[in-house]
Amino acid sequence: MIEVKNLSYTYNDGNEALKSISTSFPEEHIFAVTGMSGSGKTTLLNCLARFLHPQQGEILLNGEDIRQMDEVTFRSNIGVVFQRLNLFPHLTVLENLSLAPIKLAKGPKKTIIHDAQDMLERLGIPELATHYPAQISGGQAQRVAIARGLMLKPGVMLLDEPTSALDARTSQEFSEWLRELQSDTGFIIVTHDLAFAEITAAKGIFMSGGVIVKSGPIRDVLAHIDGGLAQ
């Protein structure tokens, strides 16, 4: 469970991107953070990921203030996949998956490589193991980036605009794939793609101008938006 309390973030140029927002993210669901471009979604994600430090408010992970957590504990609880996936271009898919666990000494190298192979099998993409990022499609790269994040077994993963490089059909397949994974890991998905949010998430929020204008079951959130836009 992640709780956000009275969180505000203002950029150096005075832009108030988050204005005292409060919400909570249950870990066992796929949760969508929606809103139009510029509404503050990525800023919120970067605060949750501890890449930005809010001027006001707090974020609690299972009751503990994330500012108090040591880096390794924090990163093994909350995984992040950025909009630009940041796969290492000079490493194969299998090497991309193995790198962080090896660096963090999560076990003998042989075991980690075996686990990475298992992860690719489990996620239905074993054939990609020996490919380099430039040799795979956008949809495959998105899955590989998530597989890499899952190697550290986080309780929750944050995804920023995961469908931005995918066509409608690939987005739908990706949605089904994510829903299969949610029994092991919770996902918080930042997206302006409302159709994707609707088929993927159980609950969500809709942001506008740095505040949360609606939260709850995803259908209610989207119905509120449709109603609002029609007025």
Q: How far is the CB of 21 from ligand ADP (least distance, A)?
A: 12
Q: How far is the CB of 43 from ligand ADP (least distance, A)?
A: 3
- Closest-CB residue for Mg ion? 42
Q: How far is the CB of 182 from ligand ADP (least distance, A)?
A: 23
Other Cβ atoms closer than 10 A to 13: 5
Torsion of CA 18, 217, 188, 32, to 10 degrees: -70
CA atoms lying within 13 Å on the CB side of residue 52: 21
Q: How far is the CB of 1 from ligand ADP (least distance, A)?
A: 23
Which among 158, 124, 161 is positioned nearest to 144, based on CA atoms?
A: 124
- Residue 142 interacts, among Mg ion, ligand ADP, none and using kind-specific CB cut-offs from 5 to 8 Å, with none
Q: How far is the CB of 192 from ligand ADP (least distance, A)?
A: 7
Point out which residues bind ligand ADP (CB under 6 A).
11, 13, 15, 17, 35, 37-43
**Which residue, 3 or 16, is less far from ligand ADP as judged by CB?**
16
Is 42 an interacting residue with respect to Mg ion (CB under 5 A)?
yes
- Residue 38 interacts, among Mg ion, ligand ADP, none and using kind-specific CB cut-offs from 5 to 8 Å, with ligand ADP
- Residue 204 interacts, among Mg ion, ligand ADP, none and using kind-specific CB cut-offs from 5 to 8 Å, with none
**Which residues of the shown chain bind Mg ion in the complex (CB under 5 A)?**
41-42
